[in-house]
Structure 1
Amino acid sequence: MNKFQLEQNKAFKLANDLKQGGKGQIGVAGQAKVDRREQRKLDQAKGLVPFACKLDEKLVAQLKERALTNEGGLSEVLVELLVKAGLER
Structure 2
Amino acid sequence: MTDGKRWESVVERSYNVETDKLLKTIVEECRECLRFRVTEYQEWVTVWIEANYAMDITYTISAEIYGKIKKKIEIILKNKKKGN
Q: Work out whether the TM-score is over 0.5.
A: no
Name whichever structure is richer in strand by fraction: 2
Give the TM-score taking structure 2 as reference length: 0.35
Name whichever structure is richer in helix by fraction: 1
Give the TM-score taking structure 1 as reference length: 0.34
Q: Which is greater in Rg? A: 1
Larger relative contact order (C-alpha < 8 A, sep ≥ 6)?
2
